[in-house]
A and B are shown apart, each in its own frame.
Chain A
Amino acid sequence: MSKEWEPRIVAFFCNWCTYTAADLAGVSRLKYAPNVRVIRLMCSGRVDPQFILDALARGADGVLIGGCHPGDCHYVEGNYKALRRFRMLQRMLDQMGIERERVRLEWISAAEGEKVQRVINEMTEQVRALGPLNLPGKFEEWDKEMEALAARIAKEEAKRSEAEPAAEKKEA
């Protein structure tokens, strides 16, 4: 990479609160880092751990989830569901050796444009400090390791069959 590395953060914002707040931040001309790219969904309750892991696996350095404050979800309790799954995800991240700070869940109401600005800036700096996650790269490394392993096994197999042809022939 010739250019300086920039954190790539994917955000999932619910249509009713956080996405609207991000619009408000823009309308209020609040400046924030352009590193966070928002995907709109109807409700934060839609986000399952797989979405997040997929994003990381595809090369995101961090994932931000934004929903309505507790009690304000337009689908009654979608945000509680999101929270529950988020806690589960944190444990999965721990096991995978991925820093918890790379995935963040925030309640941001439609009126909180400033919070969008603050959270996005904080998150960008946090992920910048952690450095690239580069899961695709890691996958490649793992793939290479697997290939090497497979090659070694194949070689050993070949050696073994070379050593035992006589026995096999006898059986046949």
Chain B
Amino acid sequence: MEPEKDEEAPKIGVYVCRCGGNISDVVDVERVAKTIAEMEGVAISKVHTFMCSDPGQSMIVEDIKKESLNRVVVASCSPFLHELTFRNAVQRGGLNPYLYDHVNIREQGSWAHKSDPEGATAKAIRLIAAGVEKVKHAEPLERIRLSNHQRALVLGGGAAGMKAALELARRGIPAVIIDKNAELGGHIKEWGKLFPTDEDGQTLAARLRSEVEAEKDIEVIAPAKVTKISGFVGNYDVAFERLGEGGKPGEEAKLTVGAIIVATGFEPYRPAEGEFGYRKTPRVMTMPEFIAWAGSQPNGRLTLDGREVRRVGFLHCVGSRQIEGVHKPQPDGRVNTYCSRVCCSTVLNQAVQVRKRFPSVSVLDFHQDIRSYGRGHEDYYIEASNRGVAFFRYHGDEPPEVATDAEGLVRLRMKDYLTWGEEIEASMDVLVLAVGMTPSPIGDLIDMLKLATGHDRFLQEVHPKLRPVESSVNGVFLAGTAQAPMTLEEALCSAGAAAAKAAALLGSEYVEVDPFVARVDEAKCTGCERCVEECAYSGAIVMVEKETEGGGKVKKAEVNAGLCAGCGACVAVCPTRAIDLRGWSLKEFDSMVDGLVSAAERLAAK
């Protein structure tokens, strides 16, 4: 651990933001600033209407220079919004950007305590006091520089994976696609005419494939299976196996890349046996089964089992929007509460196609809601209505009951809320279950990459709004339906975004990462290895033998900054407090607690 070189007394600038009234309508910001000004080490304490505005930021820059501030605290909105803004301002003022602390008095202050201005003001004072105490112990940190392999791996060559690879290659960044299937394209190949443009899925997939083949900077390895991934941002070592006939393992090989885009897509939901009559009769089929079957039939008449089909029903939301206590849980005990987003428009699309291709077949639609939300999707609803599709609406907690009748036809019973709860019963030749999406079974990849998943089992982004295509693992990005149910359009958008993020990372010969990683104070480390046991990232902490002054050997923990994710689990178990986290140190936390519970009381007592 490098010794703190400047024992210089803190001169802290504190800035309290009114946020144009968002904060100051509730929190008495003037009183807050005055109270904080009394704290030891606080040189100036000011209020501004919009700290994030240019004048607000310039004020920080100028004050640092004029007043020779050496620490800065801004109390404003959530750190997710403007922590970086103010770090940059601090840097422009000539200070290290990590000599800064951000205090949230809006989302977790004025907005949450609107009817309690006194409480909100008291809380703001304490939170800022904690920030002031913390920043006193802040150290200048440098972002960590690591070498960078300027090449990306794209896992999965569906539409999203191919799009991501193409976008990378067009920016001059080589990409390797690994897919478990020999033919790239993913699921869109199976759907025939796609909403909302009526383009054929096969044709679209073929077009993407030929673009990929034409691109010299894209290498396709398929069919293949990734067997091991190690390393970190800029330096991922990937081992894979080419698959032979029938998925048999073949030749093994390795490659190194700087970033990974996960585009492993989805699998259609598979209903359990007996779920809405599935597998009890061939007349109940899933949407993919129906599309494949209907697509293979000539226009005009539709027959199944030698019998003319007169009526087709579509049941929405199978395997999606499930309700705890109503639907049977999945094998992992969860119910799929999410909306799969594509099923409604797919039903409408298929309903229209059935009415066009087989005019003698009537179509029934059983839904809880119709979410034809995208541009052009509503046109399918209008056309379906115009073409005589009959709509029925059930309540989510009263799913329809499905049985077969004496003739072998499918009979569906439900309460229809378009007719104020009337019990209806309909019989049909075919019932299509509009199944939703579930994530591809990629448990092995999730383990290898230490990816986070949401409650819905799809891969999870760092922040749904602010960092929507980044995983929590540095250098790993998410594209397409591996992350959540999406239409093709949305999947390609996300693929483009993931490629842009990866390209920005791979554009330079080195990568910079946040300096918030563990560090070891060798003098205190007793070599007990508890940190190594606690660490979830293999290789992030290792024990190394060191010579002692007397010539003996001792074991000390050493941190690999590239692999450390900065979670701090090791810090929590170190019996001698020898391991600590830069930027989130024990001292900083201790002083924050002090700021929260005692410093502010001392202030109040003054």
Contact = CB atoms under 8 A, between A and B. Distances in A.
Interface of A: 8, 10, 16, 20, 22-27, 29-35, 37-43, 45-48, 51, 54-55, 58-60, 69, 71-78, 81, 85, 109-110, 136
Contacts of B115: 31
A41 B568 contact: yes
B567 A39 contact: no
B572 A76 contact: no
Interface string B508-527: 00000000100000000000
A72 B120 contact: no
Nearest to A40: B79
A40 B134 CA distance: 12
Contact of A45 (B109, B455, B568): B568
Contact of A26 (B108, B450, B573, B598): B108
B126 A37 contact: yes
B567 A75 contact: yes
Interface string B91-131: 00000000000001011110111111001101100110010
A39 B589 contact: yes
Contacts of A30: 112
Given A37-B126, A55-B593, A109-B455, A75 B565 contact: yes
A26 B111 contact: yes
Q: Which 4 A-B pairs have the closest CB atoms?
A: A46-B568, A26-B107, A34-B119, A48-B572
B472 A74 contact: yes
B112 A26 contact: yes
B130 A39 contact: yes
A136 B107 CA distance: 31
B552 interface: no
A2 to B, nearest CB: 11
B460 interface: yes
A10 B116 CA distance: 19
A10 B113 CA distance: 17
Given A10-B596, A33-B119, A76-B450, A22 B568 contact: no
Given A71-B453, A76-B536, A45 B569 contact: yes
A34 B452 contact: no
Given A33-B119, A73-B452, A23 B107 contact: yes
In this complex, the member of A27, A34, A40 whose beta carbon has the largest number of chain B beta carbons within 10 angstroms is: A34
B327 to A, nearest CB: 20
21 contacts: A20-B463, A24-B107, A26-B106, A27-B111, A32-B112, A38-B108, A38-B127, A42-B566, A43-B569, A45-B569, A45-B572, A46-B572, A55-B593, A58-B593, A58-B597, A58-B598, A59-B601, A60-B596, A74-B472, A74-B567, A75-B565
B462 A51 contact: no
A71 B127 CA distance: 31
Contacts of A31: 112-116
A46 B252 CA distance: 39
Given A10-B597, A42-B516, A69-B455, A34 B120 contact: yes
Contacts of B130: 37, 39
A60 to B, nearest CB: 5
A110 to B, nearest CB: 7
Given A43-B567, A46-B568, A72 B108 contact: no
Contacts of B536: 75-78
Contact of B589 (A29, A51, A73, A81): A51
B298 interface: no
B454 A72 contact: yes
Interface string B593-606: 11011100100000
The CB with the most chain A CB atoms within 10 A, among B112, B127, B584, is that of B112
B571 interface: yes
B567 A60 contact: no
B592 interface: yes
Interface of B: 78-80, 104, 106-109, 111-116, 119-120, 122-123, 126-127, 130, 450, 452-455, 460, 462-464, 472, 516, 534, 536, 565-569, 571-573, 581, 584, 589-590, 592-594, 596-598, 601
Nearest to A71: B453
B566 A60 contact: no
Nearest to A34: B119
Nearest to A12: B589
B593 A78 contact: no
A42 B567 CA distance: 6
A119 to B, nearest CB: 13
Contacts of A109: 455
Contacts of B581: 42, 46
Given A55-B597, A72-B455, A75-B565, A47 B572 contact: yes
A69 B457 CA distance: 12
Contacts of B450: 75-76
A8 B569 contact: no
A39 B452 contact: no
A10 B597 CA distance: 8
Contacts of B126: 37
Contacts of B114: 29, 31
Contacts of A74: 452, 460, 462, 472, 567
Given A25-B112, A31-B112, A39-B593, A48 B573 contact: yes
Contacts of A58: 593-594, 597-598
B111 A81 contact: no
A38 B590 CA distance: 14
Contacts of B593: 10, 39, 51, 54-55, 58, 60
B460 A39 contact: no
Contacts of A37: 123, 126-127, 130, 596
Contacts of B589: 39, 41, 51
Contact of A48 (B104, B113, B571): B571
Given A10-B597, A51-B589, A20 B455 contact: no
Given A23-B104, A34-B120, 14 more contacts: A8-B597, A16-B472, A26-B108, A34-B116, A37-B596, A39-B592, A39-B593, A42-B568, A43-B568, A51-B572, A59-B597, A60-B597, A76-B536, A110-B464
